Amino acid sequence: MFTSNRCKANPILWSQEVVKDGTVRAVVLNSGGANCYTGAEGFQTTHAVAEQVANNLGIGAVDVVVCSTGLIGLANPRQNLLDGVDAATAALSAAGGSDAAAAIMTTDSVSKQVVVEGAGWSVGGMAKGAGMLAPQLATMLVVLTTDAVVPAADLDAALRAATRVSFDRLDSDGCMSTNDTVTVMASGASGITPSLPDFTEALTQACTDLAMQLLRDAEGADHEIAITVLNAATEDDAVAVGRSVARSNLFKAAVFGNDPNWGRVLASIGTTDAAFDPADLDVAMNGVWVCKQSTPHADPATVDLKPREVSVTIDLKAGSERATVWTNDLTHAYVHENSAYSS
């Protein structure tokens, strides 16, 4: 799965071709430069990196996914990358997962890994990302592996299902990256073929766990906010309403200030075309129903927003679908960290 941003980085342009035949044998990741909007020279750098990996491992370059992260418009020095490939392939080890997860950190404060056990098989994954999380995928590079036997088409279907309800519902700051990639590879080493539902569930659990790790490590955030929309006419409506609240700078700044300003939730809901009656909306914050039937209900002063984890619940009373969208608060630290990123 790749970013849906139409301004795609060179490694995305390369890797989209690599995955078309359903076979990936290696993933190589670099930070320091996104290799995005760097022209033909940049694409050749990505190609050279894939060739170097392939040569070192005795595989084909067309089976090597390349991921890059960092500043847009900055040419990545090719020799540095090739030297890095040599160092990384020389250090390859079955026990090197944690080293890899640490190596891909950029502004991350902690490395992010997950293991989900199946019946005789497992799914493992690592992620890097700390902000610019939205709205389809996030600014993140994720690599998942499994030793289950899973045909390429099933793997693709399972990954689409898993990302749809995990990374795709993370909306830390509404900004969509040019480099997002989630790769999953199945080796079949366990010899066991799980049912597609079982495998999809395990993969979804792994992706959700990594998504929550990304959320908790978002740049400058003081709160993780889960916005759950109940009784929507459609799941799309529920996601649209959740995302509208997740994108409200005013709401996010209020949460930073521990201010249960539910009016900003309603003002965001009203910007969507989801099915609901504007005169019959219920809103709860951290379990306190501060608004019922679009009128004030419980005293907002009873809402305690000091804990990091904040929940907003919106009852649309328009159907039976639901969805949760996750975001962070808008803080001084967010502004600080993102106001001097390239300097």
Shortest spacing between CB 203 and a second copy, in angstroms: 27
Nearer to a second copy, 172 or 208 (CB): 172
139 is in an annotated binding site: yes
Give yes or no for a contact between 61 and 51, defined as CB atoms under 8 angstroms apart.
yes
204 is in an annotated binding site: no
Q: Is 343 annotated as a binding residue?
A: yes
The reply to whether 295 belongs to the active site is no
d(CA 68, CA 56) in angstroms, rounded, equals: 19
Judged by CB, which is closer to a second copy: 183, or 328?
328
Beta-carbon count within 10 A of 318 CB: 20
Which one from 3, 139, 208, 313 is the annotated catalytic residue?
139
Smallest distance, a second copy to C-beta of residue 246, A: 12
What is the nearest approach in angstroms of a second copy to the Cβ of residue 63? 26
- Summarize as ranges the residues that interact with a second copy (CB under 8 A): 5-8, 34, 36-39, 71-75, 132, 135, 173-178, 247-250, 253-254, 256-257, 259, 261-264, 266-273, 278, 281, 290-291, 293-296, 300, 330-332, 334-336, 338-343
Are 226 and 309 spatial neighbours (Cβ–Cβ below 8 Å)?
yes
Judge whether 215 and 172 are in contact, CB under 8 Å.
yes
Please identify, using beta-carbon distances, which residue of 110 and 341 lies nearer to a second copy.
341
106 is in an annotated binding site: yes
CA 204 to the chain's CA centroid: 12
Instruction: Classify burial at 231, counting beta carbons within 10 Å of its beta carbon; exposed 0-12, middle 13-18, buried 19 or more.
Output: middle
What is the Cα Rg of the chain in Å?
21
**235 vs 259, beta carbon nearer a second copy:** 259
| Plot region of 100 (φ>0 → left; ψ -120 to 50 → alpha; else → beta) | alpha
Supply the residues annotated as catalytic.
139
